[in-house]
Amino acid sequence: ERDTEPAAPGSAQRDIVITGARENNLRDVSLRVPKGRITVFTGVSGSGKSSVVFDTIAVESQRQLNETFTSFLRNRLPKYERPHVESVEDLSVAIVIDQKPLGGNVRSTVGTATDIWSVIRVLFSRCGTPSAGGATAYSFNDPAGMCPECDGVGRTVHLDLDRAIDWSKSLNEGALLLPGLSVGSWEWSLYGGSGRFDNDLPLAEFGEEDRRLLLHGSGFTVRVDMRTASADMRFEGVVTRFERLYLKRDTAALSEKRREAAARFTVERVCGACDGARLNAAALATRVDGLSPADYARLEISELIGVLERIDDPVGGPVAAAARERLERLAGIGLGYLNLGRETTTLSGGEGQRLKMVRHMGSSLTGLTFVFDEPSVGLHPRDVGRLGDLLVRLRDKGNTVLVVEHDPDVMAVADHVVDMGPRAGSDGGHVVFEGPYERLREADTLTGRSLRRRTPLKGAVRTPTGRLPVRGADLHNLKGLDVSFPTGVLTAVTGVAGSGKSTLVSRVFTAAYPEAVVIDQSAIAASYVGALDAIRRAFARENGVDAGLFSFNSSGACGGCAGRGVISTDLAFMDPVTTTCPECEGRRFHDEVLQHRVAGRSIVDVLEMTAAEAEKVFDDRALLRKLRTLDEVGLTYLTLGQPLSTLSGGERQRIKLATQLHRTSGVYVLDEPTTGLHLADTGTLVDLLDRLVDAGNTVICVEHNLEVVKRADWVIDLGPDGGRRGGELVFAGTPAGLLAHPTSVTGRYLRRDPG
């Protein structure tokens, strides 16, 4: 009957129809998502947005797609288990564009990941003088083009002699610090037992010849005398030996221990042969319009566009235009400050996500469903507008666009908004609003209310107790920056993407003040785990048994499923089938464990409790303190048994903050702490930061979220733009001062809504 429904204006497309979704915390959710439209999913973190978009829609799309393949193909693809949902109808193929780091290794660059470098290679092979050959001649991932010294990596690894050797000591005193060379060992005897060196002379006093022999000697045999035996051995200098054992072979083949040792004693240097450009001499000697391939890799994208505009001859023109079109897409989404040679492993999650987005923008496929995870991450309000344009263009090519997002400027481009709630975890999992953004602003939901609330600009700021100066910072794009970080206050470091915020705070400042505590979203929360340990101990004490019994990773595990609670069976031609373990019925523990109780509850009962419920059951003081900490950071909705791996970044970050709340006079550094946070959570986060500061601590946040900037005591604004056009101090002072600043981009956006 759906065919007879009136189509949405301008589209003959149907809806994606989801019925009875129960993944994670979802409470039998049914909803329709319009195809060919932009739908933004909102709601506090933990409300169930990802459970709908990623764990139900995207997974089911992938699974249904796999079903259309031959069994031969299917067996070679990742297996998707059917999500907990009655049905999802009228799905199209989903492409997930998330913030997982770009699958990258040292050979993956912005140029190769976007395929733009292959266009540049064509340009050089057609128009370069003198030409080095056909296209692979300009590929650093092909033997025809790569620098032979560094194999196209641009860097070479060397033994760090100052870490490998204690020059103040003699061979007998243990001057050789490398693994396997302890005094008296067989390997040590190659040097100490060779009779060639004065074993009691500090290495610093060795003559030039002895030093060379010890480090690099080779090509002769020495008679090595040990106490118990003697033998003729081929001599090999300390450096030569280390390079053969640790550096000359495929590092993937080295054992973990050896890899660690290698990392401990080595330094990386820019390759001397290609100066980091990765290409061989013939390739690097080629010029197009006076510039070498190395110049093309080093120029910032926004500069490279200008260079390519000058190439307009019949041979090069069309190639240059093709490259330019792709580069303009990157610049258009605020990545103009990157260069093609930049290794993708060094990009932030947000930068990586925008690269993936641009890759798909070039595709002419239509009728797809694009799924985005908070694409505004890392974007200054100035660049969020361009992001919105990109989403609209994707839609207008005939695609469905689903976005999980907290930024009101992104919500504003949505055709349809689905608000999840009412709150998080077991208090969430419902659709609380569906409709256009304008109506969401009036809705009586947490999101609607937060959108109406205005955060006033902080007037009465705290007085700093001191200053932590940074002098002459020049890493990456920083231009010899002198800047002081005030202590005893909340500082926000602002600026457009690529202006140098992370470089200044996460690299330079933390290197200068190593006692600073970095609070990111990735680290595992020890106190949460600590609460579980305390619970196990309480069970052990009460029942006079071993605490390991109360862990499903330990002696308490059900034998039938090894503590997993489920059993997966691989069926040759179908999805693996996961069934509840018949022995423990999904409880993960063996039966005997469940007989042991505290206040009438078994360990399984307790793991299903939220922190708030557990507070009423236990009277162990250490445990109560840990549970209350979860309370203080608003996470009492989490059940105690929820695996840490399933917590959102924001949840992990708040647990980390909770462990710090009782400290004083520490320095805390946070890089974009509002990532993944709803407007309401952002308020809670700043409340937490305020409490840390009130207790005598110093807090420094890299942050483009104006809600945080407004509540800071001090703002350090970098700019004026990204990359080479950034790296300068634009402003340092109070939020009110920034509001009045004539040129700061951040100040300009602050004036849009000063609260």
Residues binding ligand ADP (CB under 6 A)? 24-25, 43, 45-51, 337-338, 342, 346, 420, 424-425, 476-477, 495, 497-503, 642, 646-648, 723
Q: How far is the CB of 674 from ligand ADP (least distance, A)?
A: 13
Q: Which is nearer to ligand ADP, 116 or 461 (CB)?
A: 116
Tell me the closest approach of the beta carbon of residue 570 to Zn ion, in angstroms. Answer: 18
Contact 589, 557 (CB under 8 A): yes
Smallest gap from residue 297 Cβ to Zn ion (A): 13
- Compare residues 128 and 634 and give the one whose CB is closer to ligand ADP: 634
- What residue 583 binds from Zn ion, ligand ADP, none (CB within 5 to 8 A, per partner kind)? Zn ion
Of Zn ion, ligand ADP, none, which one sits near residue 477, judging by CB under 5 to 8 A according to partner kind? ligand ADP
Q: Which is nearer to ligand ADP, 47 or 156 (CB)?
A: 47
Interacting partner of 24 out of Zn ion, ligand ADP, none (Cβ under 5 to 8 A depending on kind): ligand ADP
Quote the least distance from Cβ 407 to ligand ADP, whole Å. Answer: 15
Q: CA 2 → CA 13, 89, 401, distances in Å?
A: 11, 12, 21
| Binding partner selected for residue 298 from Zn ion, ligand ADP, none, CB under the kind-specific 5 to 8 Å limit | none
What minimum distance in Å lies between the beta carbon of 592 and Zn ion? 13
> What is the rounded CA–CA span in Å between residue 338 and residue 680?
33
Q: Which amino acid is at 121?
A: R
Choose the contact partner of 43 out of ligand ADP, Zn ion, none; CB within 5 to 8 A by kind.
ligand ADP
Q: What is the DSSP string of 614-675?
A: HHTT---HHHHHHHHHHHHTT-TTSBTTS-GGGS-HHHHHHHHHHHHTT--S-EEEEESTTT
- Judged by beta carbon, residue 241 or residue 329, the one nearer ligand ADP is 329
- Choose the one of ligand ADP, Zn ion, none that binds residue 337, judging by a C-beta under 5 to 8 angstroms depending on kind: ligand ADP
Decide which of ligand ADP, Zn ion, none touches 747; Cβ closer than 5 to 8 Å per partner kind.
Answer: none
Is 310 in contact with 186 (CB distance < 8 Å)? no
Q: By the 8 A CB rule, do 29 and 430 touch? A: yes
- Three-class DSSP category at 86: strand
Report in angstroms how near the CB of residue 685 gets to ligand ADP at its nearest. 14
- What are the backbone dihedrals phi and psi of residue 381, each rounded to the nearest 5 degrees, phi first? -50, -30
Classify each residue of 588-614 as buried b or exposed e, where b means 16 or more C-beta atoms within 10 Å of its C-beta.
bbbeebeebebeebbbbbbbbbbbebb
Q: Which residues of the shown chain bind Zn ion in the complex (CB under 5 A)?
A: 147, 149-150, 271, 273-274, 558, 560-561, 581, 583-584
Residue with Cβ nearer Zn ion (52 or 558): 558
Q: Between 302 and 734, whose beta carbon lies closer to ligand ADP?
A: 302
Tell me the one-letter amino acid at 331: A
Residue 427 beta carbon to ligand ADP: minimum distance, rounded to whole angstroms: 9
The full DSSP string for 573-611 is TSPPEEEE-TTTTT--B-HHHHH--BTTB-HHHHHTSBH
Q: Select from ligand ADP, Zn ion, none the partner in contact with residue 149, using the beta carbon and a kind-dependent cut-off of 5 to 8 Å.
A: Zn ion
The closest of 572, 553, 573, 555 to 563, measured between CA atoms, is: 553
Whichever of 501 and 711 has its CB closer to ligand ADP, that residue is 501
558 binding partner (options ligand ADP, Zn ion, none; Cβ < 5 to 8 Å by kind): Zn ion
CA 641 to chain centre: 25
Could you give the CA distance from residue 350 to residue 333 in angstroms, rounded to a whole number? 11
Closest CB to ligand ADP among 36 and 46?
A: 46
Nearer Cβ to Zn ion, position 16 or 593? 593
Q: What is the C-alpha radius of gyration for the chain, rounded to an integer number of angstroms?
A: 30
In the bound complex, what is the minimum distance in angstroms from residue 591's beta carbon to ligand ADP? 24
Dihedral sign (CA 269, 275, 279, 280)? negative
